[in-house]
Amino acid sequence: GSSNMHPSVATSSAAVGGIVAEWEIMGIFGDLAAHLEIPRGVDAESLSKEVVEGIFDRVMHRTGASDNLTESEAAAYKSRFVDAVLQDTNSSAIEAAKTAITAEKPLMPEKMAKAINEQGLGYTVKPVATTVAAAKVLLGLRVPRDLKLEQPARTRAVFPETFDAREAWPRCAGVIGRVYNQGHCGSCWAFSALQALDSALCIADPRFNESDSSLSRGFTASCVYDRDGCQGGYPPDAWEYVQDTGSIPSTACVPYFAEGAGSEHFQKNGHSPECPSTCATGSGLSWSSSLYRPLNAGLGGAEYSSFRYMKKLLFERGPVSMGMPASFLSSYKSGVWSAGCGTQPNHAVTAIGYSGDDYVVVMNSWGAEWGDKGTFKGDPCVISVFWKMGKIDMDAKGYVFASA
């Protein structure tokens, strides 16, 4: 490739084996905040547009990041940075600048996408003009600080070389493979938890395989926590809610608040609405006949990261909810994704298949236009953590299946 045009993007073999790819710390992707300098004698009060522009120009020049952007990308980034710093009246000048230089970055500039795609990393990316801060809204996995990964018991279990849950349970293919869109809300945790729960419910209970068989993601985001579910969460909490607290209505009863009819309010404030206790007006459904309580899914949960054990769970039980690092994932175009391996998981998704030791097939919740019809292939190194759900028991006392 013409890597000499881009001295700041070194050929990366480091992406293999779970180390961050070199491009992820180069130039525009590096820690620009560490190179910021505020001129002497300047404080938050005396910041002018010219001073802030100067701060920006110096850091771009010093880090070589200016070479990574087109003129229009650089101009847009600069203007966002200046506005953000001048509007931030609560922080010191240096804090405001440090926050803005990272938050307002374009996620995947055009030249960088081209340079990365010339590296032969096994995946390709597409340019994404969205800012780092805006892209972060699409994540939303909050992992407890005291997370301890379990070691699965050694097993001689034999499972197929390649596996796809949609083919293994054809009756449930529509449920397992349904693509959802979380919108501009950090509710990935709810979508991941329910992709796995809907799939397990379909596999366990033959009645749950209609085209509209779907537990409400909106209800889950609004009701599992006594706070805004768009600010992130933890997938097992949704299963534990069913176990300890109550039922979840169908999506037909409580449609998702960030898309379609009634989403205007959400688009204005970006928070999940109050926890509902009636079906949506116009749904024609009654609350009591729209509820599901797939008991025992919330029992026996544990966290793992062994790819071999994930394959066993996939093969025996169906789709698996997992956490991964995904800061650059919105730029995914094709191939086997390995960017970010070894960094903190910040996004929850659902494993629905695998191919040997090469990759896991993953369902995302960013709509069908994204990736490969809503899915992507992930290198096993992206599996930071996955969660084992309890086994659904239709005979459990208190098991509820909607009659609507």
Q: What Rg value do the Cα atoms of the chain yield, rounded? A: 23
202 is a catalytic site residue: no
Dmax over CA atoms of the chain, in Å, equals 72
Going by C-beta distance under 8 Å and a sequence separation of 6 or more, which residues neighbour residue 268?
none
Residue in 340, 257, 318 with CA at minimum distance from that of residue 22: 340
State the DSSP code for 70: -
Which one of 185, 188, 230, 279 is the catalytic residue?
Answer: 188
Q: Are 109 and 70 in contact (CB under 8 A)?
A: yes
- The token duo for 351 is 């494993």
* Sole residue written with tokens 């599992």: 224
With residues binned 3-state (H G I as helix, E B as strand, rest as coil), the percentages for the chain, rounded to 5, are: 35, 15, 50
Which one of 172, 253, 347, 381 is the catalytic residue?
Answer: 347
Tell me the sheet residues that pair with 302.
Answer: 388
Q: Are 82 and 57 in contact (CB under 8 A)?
A: no
Which one of 172, 341, 364, 381 is the catalytic residue?
Answer: 364
How many whole angstroms separate alpha carbon 15 and alpha carbon 22?
7
Tell me the sheet residues that pair with 239.
Answer: none
265 is a catalytic site residue: no
How many whole angstroms separate alpha carbon 273 and alpha carbon 219?
9
188 is a catalytic site residue: yes
Q: Are 304 and 397 in contact (CB under 8 A)?
A: no
How many whole angstroms separate alpha carbon 39 and alpha carbon 52?
10
- The token duo for 125 is 């990316």
> φ, ψ for residue 179 (rounded to 5)?
-100, 130
Which string of b and e fits 39-59 if b means at least 16 CB within 10 Å? eeebebeebeeebbeebbeeb
Q: DSSP characters for 23-35? A: GGGSGGGS-GGGG
Provide the annotated active-site residues. Answer: 188, 347, 364
